Amino acid sequence: MPTPSKQKKRKGSSPLAAIVLAAGKGTRMKTRRAKVLHPVCGRPMVYFPVKRALEAGADPVVVVVGHQGDEVERSLRASLPGAPLRFARQERQLGTAHAVLAAKASLRGYTGPVMILSGDTPLLTTSTLASVVDARTAPQSLAFATMDLENPKGYGRVVHAPGKGPALIVEEKDATPQERQIREVNAGLYVADAGFLWSTLSRVDAKNAQREFYLTDLVALAADGPGAVAVRVSPVEAQGVNDLEDMSLATRAMTRRIASSLMKSGVTLEDPERFDADEGVEVGPDTVIEPSVRLRGTTRIGGGCVIGQGSILLDTVVGDGATILPYSHFDRASVGDGCRVGPFARLRPEATLAEGVPVGNFVELKKTSMGKRSKANHLTYLGDATIGADVNVGCGTITCNYDGERKHPTRIGDGVFVGSDAILVAPISIGKGAYVAAGSTLTESVAAGALALGRARQVNKNGWARERAALKASGKEK
C-alpha cells in the first residue's frame, strides 16, 4: 500500500502509549464541523496522527474527544479496525493540559512513556515521532518537538535558559514583545513519563491570558525537575492546521507524498501537480496516469493500465492492462483486466465488467454485470441487468428498469445481438444467441436463438415526393 510514511515499528518492544488531543472545535476554521473531522486526502485530519502513533508502536492510543466526539470515534474505529484505540471524553475544553488529564483514566496502571500529539497535525511522519521518543535523556525527562518558523505568529515560543536548554514555553498571548521575536516554536508533540505527567499536570493552573490549563507549562516544570529536551523537527511536517487555508496546504502536501510514493513504485504520473489521491489508494507498476485524475476512497488499480485525463474513480477496482479513456466517472465499480472504458463513461455502484469488455462514450451502467468480451460501445443505459459473454449491445440501447415504483431486472444470455436503439422493458430476458432487431421496443421475453422485432412495419410510398410537388404546383395542396 503506498502509504506515504509507512515506517517499521520501533525496534524492540519498549512500551509506548499515545494521547491524541482532538476535543477542540477549531473556532478558526469558521465551520460547523469540528476541525479534526475535516478531510485531508479522504480521511478526517485526526486519522493521520492516530495512524502515525500506531505505526510508531504506541499501544494504546487514547484519543481525547469532545466536539462531535461520537463522530470522531465512529470514523476512527471504522478506518482503523482492530487498532488498540481508546476514547476519552473532555466535556468542556479548558485547555490542552486539561485535555491530557481527561485521558488519565484510560491509561490507569500504565507506567511507561506517553507520547502526546495534536489531532490537527496530519503531516507528522512516524520517523519524526520516533526521533522525539528517542531524544529523552532519562526515563523521567520530557522531550518535545520544536520548529523554526519565518512567521511564528500564533504558536507558543520556546524560551531557552542560556547554556541549559529549554526553560519554558510562552504562548503568543502571554508573551512579551521581546519573546514574540523568538522564531523557535512549540510543535505540540511531547513524550513524557506517565508518572511525571500525572503528578505534574495536577500542578498546572489557568493563570494566563486565555484562562486555560496549558500543557506547555510541563516544559518549565520538567526543566526544573527531571530535565527537558527540545528536538527540532521539520516545519513542513509539524505545522498545525488551524484554518481552511492551512487545510488546503496540508492536503496538497499529503497528496504530493502519495504521488511521490506511487512514482517510486513504478507508476507514471504525467503531472503530479494535477493529481489527487486519497490515502490508501493502490496503483500497480507500469500504469500511466494522465493529468487531472482523481483516485478516491478504496480505489485499487492494477498494473499496466492507462487512466485518462480528468477521470474520477471512487471505491473502484480496476484489473491489469485496462485503458480508461478521458473524463470517465466510476463509483463503486469493478473493471476487469484489459477492459477499455470511456471516454465519458459512467460506471455507477455495482457495475461489473469481466475481462476485455469495451464500454464506450456516453454509456452508463448501474448494478449491471457484463460477461467476457461483451460490448456496449455507444450511448447506452444499462441498469439492473445481467449480461452474459460475447453480447453486442447496440448504440442507443436502454434497459427500462424502473416502472415509477420499483426496479426490475433484465437478463441477456451469452452471444445475444441487441441491435441499435432497442428499448428493453424490464422485467425481461433475452435467451442465448437471440437477435433483437434495431429500433425494437420489447416488453416480452425472447427465447434462445429467436429474432425479436418490436416495431411498426415500414411503409414505402414510391413517387410520393413527385406527386406532392405536382399538387403544390397546381395550387391544390392544403
Short-list 138, 137, 115, CA closest to 57:
115
CB of 168 to ligand UD1, least distance (A): 11
CB of 38 to Ca ion, least distance (A): 13
CB of 245 to ligand UD1, least distance (A): 15
Cα(445)–Cα(452) distance, integer angstroms:
9
> What x/- string results for residues 137 through 166 when contact with ligand UD1 is judged by CB under 6 A?
------------------xx----------
Q: Which of 68, 75, 90, 401 binds ligand UD1 (CB under 6 A)?
A: 90
Active site residues: 378
Which residue's CB atom is positioned nearest to ligand UD1?
156
> What x/- string results for residues 171 through 210 when contact with ligand UD1 is judged by CB under 6 A?
x-------------xxxx----------------------
Contacts with ligand UD1 in 46-85 (CB under 6 A)? Answer: 64
Residue 370, C-alpha cell as written in the block: 457484463
Is residue 94 within the footprint of ligand UD1 (CB under 6 A)? yes
CB-nearer residue toward Ca ion: 101 or 238 = 238
Is residue 240 within the footprint of Ca ion (CB under 5 A)? yes
Is residue 98 within the footprint of ligand UD1 (CB under 6 A)? yes
Task: Check: CB of residue 295 under 8 Å from CB of residue 311.
Answer: no
Contacts with ligand UD1 in 110-139 (CB under 6 A)? Answer: 118-120
CB of 121 to Ca ion, least distance (A): 8
Cα(4)–Cα(256) distance, integer angstroms:
9
Cα(442)–Cα(433) distance, integer angstroms:
16
Cα(279)–Cα(302) distance, integer angstroms:
17
Is residue 119 within the footprint of Ca ion (CB under 5 A)? no
> How far is residue 133 CA from its own chain's centroid?
29
CB-nearer residue toward ligand UD1: 22 or 365 = 22
> What x/- string results for residues 244 through 263 when contact with ligand UD1 is judged by CB under 6 A?
--------------------
CB of 263 to ligand UD1, least distance (A): 31
> How far is residue 105 CA from its own chain's centroid?
33
Residue 243, C-alpha cell as written in the block: 484554518
Q: Is the peptide bond before 60 cis (omega within 30 degrees of 0)?
A: yes
Q: What share of the chain is helix, strand, coil (3-state, %, to 5)?
A: 20, 30, 50
Cα(135)–Cα(404) distance, integer angstroms:
67
CB-nearer residue toward ligand UD1: 116 or 281 = 116
Residue 228 binding partner per list Ca ion, ligand UD1, none, with a CB distance cut-off of 5 to 8 Å that depends on partner kind:
none
Task: Check: CB of residue 127 under 8 Å from CB of residue 204.
Answer: no
CB of 259 to ligand UD1, least distance (A): 26
Do you know the residue count of the chain?
A: 478
Is residue 45 within the footprint of ligand UD1 (CB under 6 A)? no
**Residue indicated by cell numbers 542560556:** 162
Residue 280, C-alpha cell as written in the block: 490508501
Cα(190)–Cα(169) distance, integer angstroms:
13
Residue 374 binding partner per list Ca ion, ligand UD1, none, with a CB distance cut-off of 5 to 8 Å that depends on partner kind:
none
CB-nearer residue toward ligand UD1: 156 or 308 = 156
Q: What is the DSSP string of 27-80?
A: GGG-SSS-GGGSEETTEETTHHHHHHHHHTT-SSEEEEEBTBHHHHHHHHHHHS
Site residues for ligand UD1 per CB under 6 A = 21-24, 36, 64, 90, 93-96, 98-99, 118-120, 155-156, 169, 171, 185-188, 214-216, 240
Site residues for Ca ion per CB under 5 A = 120, 240
